[in-house]
Chain A
Amino acid sequence: MSPPVKVIGAFGSPFSHRVEAALRLKGVPYELILEDLSTKSELLLKSNPVHKKVPVLLHGDRAVCESLVIVEYIDEAFDGPPLLPADPYDRAMTRFWVDFMENKCSMPFWLAHWTEGEVRGRFVKEAKENLALLEAQLKGKRFFGGDTAGYLDIAACALSPWLSVIEEVTGVTLVDDDEYPELCRWAKEYASDEALKQCIPDRDELVAYFNVNKERYKMFANAMAQQ
C-alpha cells in the first residue's frame, strides 16, 4: 500500500494549488494541511529548512519542496495520466515554457497589476509581450498539454482562477477577450475541469483574501519596482 500523501499549503497560494492540481490530475488522494504563513508550523520549518515556504509535499517520510519540482516528482512517482509528453523534444518544450512562466512571466505580470501610474506602464508592456507568447502556444489546443491539462497548464494556473480575482481587486485588466481569445478560453476550460476545479479556492473567499492583503501587495510591488 502506498505511503500517505500530505500537502502543506496555504490558502490562496497558486503555488500550493499547483501541487494539489497535479495530485488530482493523477488521481492521487491526499490530505491538505493549511499553514498560517504569519506563524509557520514546526512541521513546515522541519520539512523545508532551506526556503521555509509552502508548498511542501510529504510522501510517507519523504519531503519534496518547490512547487514545480514537486509537480515533476508527482508525475514520476505515481501512476496515472502523464503530465508531461512522452517525446523528449516535446518535454523540453514544455519545460522551457514552464520555466518561462515561472521566471519571466510571473513577476512583470504581478507588478503590472499591483503597481500604479507611470511605473505600471513598463510592466504592462512586458507582461503583454509575455502573454502574447503564451497565447501563441495555445493555438487551437484545449489545454497547453493538448486535450487534457498537463504540466504547463498547472504552472500557468495564476492566469486562470486567480486572474479574475486580481482583476477585480486591483481594477486592472490585462487579459481581455479581444487581445487574448485563446488564453480567455483556456482559463474557462481550466476552471471548469472536473479534476482541477476541486482544488480551486472559492472565488468569494479568494476575493476577500486579496482585499485583506491589498495594501501590503501594493507596498511590496512598489518596493520591488524600485529595484
Chain B
Amino acid sequence: MAEAEVRCVDFWCNEFGMRVRIALREKNVEFEFVEEDLRVRQRSELVLRMNPVYRSIPILIHRGRPICESMNIVEYVDEVWSQPGGTRLLPADPLERAHARFWANFVDQKVFDAQHRFFMGRNEAKETAKAELVGHLKRLEEVLGDKAFFGGDEFGLLDVALVPFSSMFYGYEKHGGVDMEVECPVLARWVRRCHERESVRSVLPTGVNMYEIHKFFYGIE
C-alpha cells in the first residue's frame, strides 16, 4: 500500500504537535497520524531518520520529505495548502506577520519554559515559575484585547501557537491552584471560542487526560 502523501509523526499530548494537527485540519489536509509514544524513552527508527538533529516530534512528512519544528511546520502548511479565498493562518500584511511571529516566539521562549519549570519545580521554584507563567499569560491576554482571535476576526498563527497550552489549564489549577477563569477571563473566553472550531475540538485532549499524563512525565503523585 502506498505511503500517505501527508504524515504527521506525533503523540496525542504533545502541545507542539497539536499546533501542526490543528493547522492541517484548518486547511482540510488529509493526513496519517503516525503515533510516537513519548512514554517510551527510545525514539523510533522513523523519528531518528526523519529528525536526526533533534530526534523529537512533531515531524511532518510530505511526499517522503520531513519538515521539523512546530512553528516552521505550521508556516509550511500555510504556504503549501493555500488557495485564493481559503483559510490563511498568516495574515497578508508584513507587520501583522511580524507581530504574529514575535508573539509565537514569546509563547515558545516564555510560556512553555515557565510551564515546564512549574511542573518540574518544588516549593519556591514552583511558586516562582507559577507567577511567571501567569504573568506571561496575562501579557498575552493584553495582546488579544477585545479581538475575537489573536489573528483579529480570523483564527491565525498565534491562535494555533497558543491554544494547545489551554489543554493544560485544568492541570495549572490542580497542580498549583491557578484558576484561569479568574486570572485571565478574556483568555478563558478565547479558549471557548476556539473550541467552537472543529480543528481545535478534534485535536485538543481533555484537561483531565493532559494532567494525568503530565503527572506521569513529571513524576508528580
Q: Which residue numbers of A lie inside 8 Å of B, CB to CB?
A: 50, 59, 62, 64-66, 69-70, 72-73, 76-77, 88-89, 91-92, 95-96, 99-100, 104, 133
Q: Is residue B195 contacting chain A, with contact meaning CB distance below 8 A?
A: no
B76 touches A77 (CB 8 A): no
Bin the interface of chain B by size.
20 to 34
Q: Which residue numbers of B lie inside 8 Å of A, CB to CB?
A: 53-54, 62, 65, 67-69, 72-73, 75-76, 79-80, 94-95, 97-98, 101-102, 105-106, 139
Cα–Cα, bound, A165→B106 (Å)? 31
B53 touches A133 (CB 8 A): yes
- CB nearest neighbor in B for A51: B106
Contact A73-B94, Cβ < 8 Å, known A66-B105, A96-B67, A99-B72:
yes
Interface residues of B, dominant DSSP: helix
Which A residues touch B65, using CB under 8 A?
89
The number of inter-chain residue pairs (CB within 8 angstroms) is 55
State the Cβ distance, B18 to closest chain A Cβ, in Å.
Answer: 19
Contact A72-B53, Cβ < 8 Å, known A50-B139, A64-B102, A95-B75:
no
State the Cβ distance, B56 to closest chain A Cβ, in Å.
Answer: 12
Which B residues touch A76, using CB under 8 A?
94, 97
A66 touches B102 (CB 8 A): yes
Cα–Cα, bound, A100→B68 (Å)? 11
Cα–Cα, bound, A50→B107 (Å)? 13
Which B residues touch A64, using CB under 8 A?
95, 98, 102
A89 touches B76 (CB 8 A): yes
B98 touches A72 (CB 8 A): yes
B95 touches A89 (CB 8 A): no
Which residue of the partner chain, among B53, B98, B139, contacts A100 with CB atoms under 8 Å? B53
Which residue of the partner chain, among A59, A69, A88, A92, contacts B105 with CB atoms under 8 Å? A69
Which residue of the partner chain, among A50, A65, A70, A92, contacts B67 with CB atoms under 8 Å? A92
State the Cβ distance, A74 to closest chain B Cβ, in Å.
Answer: 9
Given A64-B98, A91-B76; 14 other pairs, CB 8 A cutoff = A50-B139, A62-B95, A64-B95, A66-B105, A69-B98, A73-B98, A88-B76, A88-B80, A91-B79, A95-B75, A96-B67, A96-B68, A99-B69, A100-B53
Which B residues touch A96, using CB under 8 A?
67-69, 72
Which B residues touch A66, using CB under 8 A?
101-102, 105
Cα–Cα, bound, A92→B69 (Å)? 9
Which A residues touch B53, using CB under 8 A?
100, 104, 133
29 contacts between A and B (CB under 8 A): A50-B106, A59-B95, A62-B95, A64-B95, A64-B98, A64-B102, A65-B102, A66-B101, A66-B105, A69-B102, A70-B98, A73-B94, A73-B95, A73-B97, A88-B76, A89-B65, A89-B67, A91-B75, A91-B79, A92-B67, A92-B75, A92-B76, A96-B67, A96-B68, A96-B72, A99-B69, A99-B72, A104-B53, A133-B53
- CB nearest neighbor in A for B68: A96
Which A residues touch B79, using CB under 8 A?
88, 91
Which A residues touch B106, using CB under 8 A?
50
